[in-house]
Amino acid sequence: MSFFVNDCNAKNEELNDVFTGSLAFQPAVPSKDLKALIFDQKYQNSGQVIQGQTTVDFTIGNELTFRVDYSLKSHVTYFAVISPSVISYSNVVYDDSSKLMKIEIPGIAQVGEWKFTLVVSTSTSEYINLIVTSKPKSDTAPITVDCFDPKLVPRRFVGRVMQGGNPIIGASVK
């Protein structure tokens, strides 16, 4: 597996993606300890309320974490997560040295749609990257889908369905 990060425009989250990708490809830990990437979205030049959702299925939910990488801490003025049963989590933990904040859901997360809200200030140069990860509920690795463009041709993507480091035979991605 190989990765490319452009030196001219590289941001922290791009390097994080490379390290996460390399661990997901050849995990050095048991499947139950491997974090699966559930959601990853970069927002720039915002000055708005950012709302979205992500799904937690029956295979994941252990150590569910909503992490925001930021270029400037004061750019994010509000961050909260709401569970499928409408319990609000706004207990943000900050790591200023790594330029990240996160909300960790205690125990096993409820199955269903988890909603998040971020309020960010107006800026022409600041960015945030929201990443949601979870460990599997059991020793079995979660099923993941990797989409990539093998020839860098716009709108031509290939999907690979994996469980841990093993491909799911006969699976298709649309």
**Mean pLDDT score of the chain, rounded to an integer?**
79
List of residues 6+ apart from 67 with CB closer than 8 A: 100, 101, 102, 130, 131, 132, 133
Measured in whole angstroms, the distance separating CA 136 from the mean position of its chain's CA atoms is 14
Report residues of the chain scoring pLDDT below 70: 1-15, 18-32, 45-47, 124, 139-142, 146-158, 164-165, 173-174
Residue 64: name the closest of 116, 9, 126 by CA. 116
Structural tokens at position 31: 């499947």
- Starting at the edge strand found earlier in the chain, the sheet holding 158-163 runs 143-148, 158-163, 166-167
List of residues 6+ apart from 70 with CB closer than 8 A: 76, 99, 100, 101, 126, 127, 128, 129
CATH number of 31-141: 2.60.120.260
Predicted TM-score (pTM) of the model is 0.69
Within 13 Å, how many C-alpha atoms sit on residue 147's CB side?
8
Q: DSSP letter at 75?
A: G
> In this predicted structure, what is the pLDDT of residue 171?
73
